[in-house]
Amino acid sequence: MIIGYIFIVISLAGPRWGVRETVAEKRGIDIVVALDLSKSMLTQDISPSRMERAKLELASFIDSRQGDRIGLTGFAGSAFLACPLTTDYSAAKSFLHNLSADTISSPGTALARAIDLSADLLKESDGRGKIIVLLTDGEETIGDPLRAAAEAEEKGIMIYTIGFGTKDGGPIPVYDRNRKIIDYRKDKKGRIVISKFDGSLLKNLAAEGGGKFFYGADSVSRLAAEIEKKDKQLLASKLIRLMEERFRYPLIIALIFLSINMLLSERRKLT
C-alpha cells in the first residue's frame, strides 16, 4: 500500500521524458473592411443609426474571426487607412470605436477610392483568401466603383457588400458639440433631405467583385459563414518541441500495488 501511494505521488508530479515535435500552423484570410463615414450614415431609419449599427455589426464580425488578419479603412468623400492588417482584434476594435462622421470632412461616398485603398492594403498578401467588405448605404457615390471592383477582382480580391438603411429612409440629423440633434440636413431650396437606401449598386459591386451582397439583421452571420467556406492561406508556422507526458506509467504501477494490497487484505480476512 505504501509503494502504491508513493507511485501516486510520482504520477501527480507529472513526470515527463522524451521529446515530441509538432508543427503549429496559423491559417487565415486577409480581410479589409471599409466603413462608410458619410453624413447619410447618421440617418436613424435603423436603430440607433446606420453608422452605429454598422460599427456594432463590424465589432461582432471581428469577434467571430479566428486567425484571419483584419484591416480597416474609412471613407466618405475620400478614403483613409484606419488600421493595418492585424490579428490583434482588440486593437482593431479600438480603432473602430474612434471612427465617426467627423473623421472625414469631405462630403460624399467615395466607394471607388475605398475599394482602391483596400486593394492596395491587400496587394502584399500571398496566396488565396483576399477579401474586401464594404459597409455602406451606397448613397452619393463619387467615381466609378464598378471599375474599381472589377480591377480588384482581377487581382484575386473578392468584394462583399453589406447594406444599411431602409427603402423609406429618413432625415439626416445635424448635431451640436454635445451630440444633440439641433436640425436636419436641407437641400438648396430649404427642404429636408430624405436619405433612402437602394441596394442595386451594392448588388452590382458584389457581382463585379465575385462576392455577395448582404442585407438585413443577420447579414454579419451570413457573411461569416460564407467566408468560412474559403481556403485559408498559411500565415505562419512554427516547430514546437514538447516533452511527452508520462504520468500514466507510475499511475498504472500504483494501481497494481494497491490492487495487490487489496487482495492480500481479503486473504488475511479469510485466514
Instruction: Give the Cα-Cα-Cα angle 150, 211, 127 (nearest 5 degrees).
Output: 80
Residue 110's CATH number: 3.40.50.410
Dihedral class, residue 194 (left if φ above 0, else alpha if ψ from -120 to 50, else beta): beta
pLDDT at 248: 84
pLDDT at 128: 61
pLDDT at 1: 82
pTM (two decimals): 0.75
Q: How many distinct structural domains can be found in the chain?
A: 2
Shared domain check, 129 and 46 = yes
83 three-class SS: strand
Shared domain check, 207 and 144 = yes
pLDDT at 233: 56
pLDDT at 236: 55
pLDDT at 126: 66
Task: Write the single-letter amino acid at 30.
Answer: D
Which residues span the domain enclosing 218?
Answer: 30-231
pLDDT along the chain (271 residues), means of 10: 84 77 65 95 94 94 89 94 93 94 88 95 77 90 91 93 94 90 91 92 94 90 86 56 77 86 76 61
Task: Give me the sheet containing 79-86, strands edge to edge.
Answer: 79-86, 69-75, 30-36, 130-136, 157-163, 213-215
